[in-house]
Amino acid sequence: MVASEALQNVMEEQNIWWAEALDLINSMVLKTIKVAHPDKKGHFELLSLFRDEEDDMEFMEKLFRQTIENDAYFETLIGEKTQNWDLERIALIDIILLKMALSEILHFPGIPIKVSINEYIDISKDYSTPKSKIFINGVIDNIVADLKTKGSIAKTGRGLLE
């Protein structure tokens, strides 16, 4: 949607990282255009990308809090499964994504395990190295298998789906 070089230059002057949010911006604009009526003239606001921003904010805050509060525990779980890896060579973003995935798996009972794993694999595709998706999938799968054996994962409702 942003083919104009002039617009790109103006946006970059405002914020050099604006292109990072381009997909999000495009989604919001397209969503707004789809519901816009040709008979309505004048000003209208962009629709929210999310259904319930309050719920999304609550989810984000809880995920952040749980990830930070359980950092040492997650570090131990990850360390047990990466003994053959030089921790200095593991991308920091991969460690962060692993911890966030573990937090979501352990502290959000309504989210199925596979949904959490797939989400963090997808995030790694955009923000980490080309091989990170394989690494994250392998480490999380191994940790989840151990946690299931120990009965440490308690899922409810939709979270029970495999």
pLDDT in tens, 140-160: 999 999 999 999 998 888 766
Of 130, 143, 131, whose CA–CA distance to 100 is shortest? 143
Calpha distance 136→101 (Å, rounded): 9
- The structure tokens listed for 112 are 């199925």
Mean pLDDT of 76-92: 90
Select the more confidently predicted residue: 99 or 3.
99
Question: Could you read off the pLDDT of 39-71 as tens digits, one per residue?
Answer: 666 666 666 656 677 888 899 999 999 999 999
Calpha distance 109→162 (Å, rounded): 13
Question: Which domains does the chain possess?
Answer: 1-49 (no CATH), 53-160 (1.10.940.10)
Residues shown for the chain: 162
pTM for this predicted structure: 0.72
